[in-house]
Structure 1
Amino acid sequence: MKPLQRWIRRLAWSLLAVGLLALLAWALRPAPVAVSVARVEVGPFVDSISEEGRTRLRDTWNVSVPIAGYLQRVTLEVGDPVERGQVLFRLEPSPAPALDPRSRQQAEDILHAAEARLRAAEAILETARAERRFTEAEFERYQTLHRRNLVSGTDLDQRRSQRDRQRAVERAAAFGVEAARFEVESARAVLAVSSGQRGDIEHPELEVRAPIDGTVLSRYRCCEGSVAAGEPVLELGSLDTLEVQVDLLSMDAVRVRPGMAVRFTGWGGEVPLAGRVRRIEPAGFTRVSALGVDEQRVPVIVDFSEAPIPAALGLGSGFRVDAEFLVWQADEVLQLPTNALFRTAGQWSVFRVEAQRARRIAVTPGRRSGLVTQVLAGVEEGDHVIVHPGERIEDGTRVEVDP
């Protein structure tokens, strides 16, 4: 029995040693890596481009001053509606410039000289009238004597000629008086405004009218004062022609086509607004991003396509909106989170959880839309893939799914 006991004892010690080694190996084995997983699903998928945009008016009218003059106060304010043909503002002739003491003294001297010429012209006119009356009386006497055959026809013709010449002299003297009177009025007009102020007399006014039915967008001048020709006063526009300009990255702009559907959010209302791409500008420009990176941007013009009218909702020119361009969409698309994808050996892959272990699976991604990517091959609906896989995750690594 002793050999049997010794064999049993050895077997027991051997089993105990194996158990201890197994327990030690189990205790020293690597702990499973905690991971977050996402489920591969089939559902609606939208490939879109999102960018911030600004509303603007398709056409605006800058109403400026046609000629230099004195602008009366503009009573219209920003936001006021206007109708075609409505008077927007009025212009008066510019007031005379103020006279310095020397110019005023010269103007007074010119007035005195004009008044003196007027008096001289009036005296010449009185003399011409007296001479004309005398020659007319002489002609009448000679005419009576000629009928009695007491004077010759030659003497009568001479008196007639003198009478006609004197009448012409009188008319010339009358014109001289009229011209002298105009000179006096002109000299008085120069002195009428000596301080550059407008007088109480009425001036002819030029009325500038609205070219369209619309709204006042900007008011560059409100108060009265002198204005130069071409100076802008008001900016008009029709809010019914409201559109949106979105500056897309050039790599995104090439994916956009005229007529593409656009959805506007972030404009302040609860319901998104619909739009359609009308034009992609053929020339881009460079804009520096917030990170200091030069970006090539392309302006894309989008029209609102459905009621209600944006102006009725409170939108105006220069308002911010978020534009989402719907490049492609489908209802039944196999998709997974974009952050589950990684590249290895030049191929896209994911880690699929199988029996508490991570298995690297090669996949073929399709379209991307923000945080979601379409999958063409490699995984199936219902598979669980690891999101944000770290360096500790390798093919076959034991994992523990976070609840």
Structure 2
Amino acid sequence: MNEQKSPWKTPRRWAIVGLALLAAAALLYAVYRPRPITVEVAQVTSGKFEQVVEEDGQLRLKNRYVITAPTLAQLQRPTLKVGDAVQAGDVVARLAPAAPQLIDARTRTVLQQRVGSADAARRAAAAQVQRAQTALAQATLEAGRSDQLAQRGFIAPSARDQSDLARRSAQQALTAAQAEQAMADFAVAEARAALAQAVPTAGERPAGLWEIKSPVNGQVLKLHLDSAAPVTAGQSLLEIGDTAAMEAVIDVLSGEVRQVLPGAAVLLTTGSGAAPLPGTVTRVEPVAFTKVSALGIEEQRVNVVVALPTVPSDAARLGDGFRVDARITVSSQADAVLVPSAALVRDGERWRVFVVDAGKARARAVQIHDRNADMAWVKDGVKAGETVLLYPGSTIADGQPVRTR
């Protein structure tokens, strides 16, 4: 009786089974193996690290001159416009004497009566002058007659002296009467002037314009009055300044301003496509003020004054109050190992990054010395030239295959 062989024990059958198992294993590996994740990467570099404070502010003039009216007057219509250039000594405003005030009929009657009273007093003074002149003439004749009689010995010398003294007294009386007449004339003129001011001539313009001149070379920044109008003493008429001599005022959060010191370098950007303007912090004001942010949050801010050494020709069109973005450097370190801040991942109390090595992401702990919004200054953990992942998410783990975008 022949023994029947199992088909599974033949070599050919075993080869087929082995190939099937290998194919199934390859399929499972292909399905479940870790697939590379497309990531963004950046290079670790070596360069200058800067800690900066970035805020916005505005330009302002170093020296502003406010032209005011010296007295009560009538401002003539200005001929200057905002932006016009003026030189020191140019006439920038003209003032005319103020127009007289209107009065009622009762006051006008009183002024008219005052003129009549003054005129009567003047006539009385004129009469006193004539009386004194007559008395002087008589005294002069008596003195001459007494002198002739005294020379002939008909009267005593004392009588001649009395006549001479009487002539001198009459002369003094005439002088006093003439002074009284002059005072009466002035009183009449004063009363008539008051009455004339009360009733001005129609269409008549006061003469004697005052010309106010510019104290410096500059431009007209503001016109407080652009038409003819009455002004009071000390009232502002216009403002003049030199736009070539400006400074910037940056308001910084009070919590950050302690890092800013006088002498710190500043770059100002006007946002107009022009090159940044270099500046230097000259003063940090010792008082804060409250400012409401765009989100409606009240913030305590401090003004930082920045000096601009020179204003280049391409920035000549900048003016008072223009907005600027400021970048204030508070610290700087050369030859620092720099890693983008977007590559840092918090690991408890430490920081780590993912370094791309042979197509895989390798987690590596790093020691951070300082960092800003863009870069981190790394003391240990990576070196310049290595590639790190940017914005690593929760799907990235140590050893994860990656593919750079």
For 2:355, what is the secondary structure of its paired residue?
strand
Q: Does structure 2 retain, via aligned residues, the 8 Å contact 1:74–1:89?
A: yes
Distance in 1, matches of 2:249 and 2:338, equals 32
Q: Which residue of 2 aligns with 1:258?
A: 262
Instruction: Decide which of 116, 119, 132 is 1:115's aligned counterpart.
Output: 119
Residue 323 in structure 1 maps to residue 349 in structure 2: no
Q: Which residue of 2 aligns with 1:7?
A: 9
- Residue 46 to residue 251, structure 1, CA distance change in 2 (3 Å): farther
Instruction: Decide which of 395, 399, 402 is 2:398's aligned counterpart.
Output: 395
> 1:12-38 CA distances to partner (integer Å, 9 max, x unpaired)?
786577457636744763773743220
Instruction: Decide which of 170, 175, 179 is 2:179's aligned counterpart.
Output: 175
Any stretches of 5+ residues in structure 2 without a counterpart? Answer: none
Distance in 1, matches of 2:156 and 2:61, equals 95
Instruction: Decide which of 190, 195, 198 is 1:186's aligned counterpart.
Output: 190
- Residue 257 to residue 167, structure 1, CA distance change in 2 (3 Å): closer
CA drift at 1:349:
1.6
Amino acid paired to 1:279: R
Residue 38 in structure 1 maps to residue 75 in structure 2: no
Q: Does structure 2 retain, via aligned residues, the 8 Å contact 1:45–1:333?
A: yes
For 2:82, what is the secondary structure of its paired residue?
coil
Which stretch of structure 1 is more off in the superposition, 172-181 or 243-252?
243-252
- Residue 307 to residue 187, structure 1, CA distance change in 2 (3 Å): closer
Any stretches of 5+ residues in structure 1 without a counterpart? Answer: none
Amino acid paired to 2:326: A
Residue 343 in structure 1 maps to residue 336 in structure 2: no
Residue 231 in structure 1 maps to residue 235 in structure 2: yes
Residue 300 in structure 1 maps to residue 304 in structure 2: yes
Distance in 2, matches of 1:257 and 1:215, equals 33
For 2:198, what is the secondary structure of its paired residue?
coil
CA drift at 1:103:
0.7
Distance in 2, matches of 1:307 and 1:152, equals 100
> 1:39-96 CA distances to partner (integer Å, 9 max, x unpaired)?
3232544425233232222233333334444445554443344444555445555444
Q: Which residue of 2 aligns with 1:57?
A: 61
Residue 362 in structure 1 maps to residue 365 in structure 2: yes
- Residue 200 to residue 235, structure 1, CA distance change in 2 (3 Å): closer
Which stretch of structure 1 is more off in the superposition, 334-343 or 276-285?
276-285
- Residue 300 to residue 154, structure 1, CA distance change in 2 (3 Å): closer
- Residue 83 to residue 21, structure 1, CA distance change in 2 (3 Å): same
Distance in 2, matches of 1:148 and 1:381, equals 138
Q: Which residue of 2 aligns with 1:129?
A: 133
Superposition map of 1:15-94 within 5 A: 15=18, 18=21, 22=25, 25-26=28-29, 29=32, 32=35, 34-49=37-52, 50-91=54-95, 93-94=97-98
- Residue 18 to residue 169, structure 1, CA distance change in 2 (3 Å): same
How many aligned residue pairs are there? Answer: 399
CA drift at 1:110:
0.6
Amino acid paired to 1:183: A
Q: Does structure 1 retain, via aligned residues, the 8 Å contact 2:274–2:314?
A: no
CA drift at 1:177:
1.6
Q: Does structure 2 retain, via aligned residues, the 8 Å contact 1:37–1:384?
A: no
Distance in 2, matches of 1:157 and 1:376, equals 121
CA drift at 1:366:
4.0
Distance in 1, matches of 2:368 and 2:170, equals 115
CA drift at 1:348:
1.1
Which stretch of structure 1 is more off in the superposition, 247-256 or 17-26?
17-26
- Residue 373 to residue 175, structure 1, CA distance change in 2 (3 Å): same
TM-score, with structure 1 as normaliser: 0.80
Which stretch of structure 1 is more off in the superposition, 169-178 or 29-38?
29-38
CA drift at 1:252:
4.3
Q: Does structure 1 retain, via aligned residues, the 8 Å contact 2:280–2:307?
A: yes
Amino acid paired to 1:5: P
CA drift at 1:251:
4.9
CA drift at 1:344:
1.9
> 1:86-140 CA distances to partner (integer Å, 9 max, x unpaired)?
5544555544422221111110111111112222222232233233333433444
Instruction: Decide which of 265, 275, 281 is 2:279's aligned counterpart.
Output: 275
Distance in 2, matches of 1:381 and 1:153, equals 131
CA drift at 1:183:
0.9
Amino acid paired to 1:376: K
For 1:119, what is the secondary structure of its paired residue?
helix
TM-score, with structure 2 as normaliser: 0.80
For 1:131, what is the secondary structure of its paired residue?
helix
Amino acid paired to 2:293: S
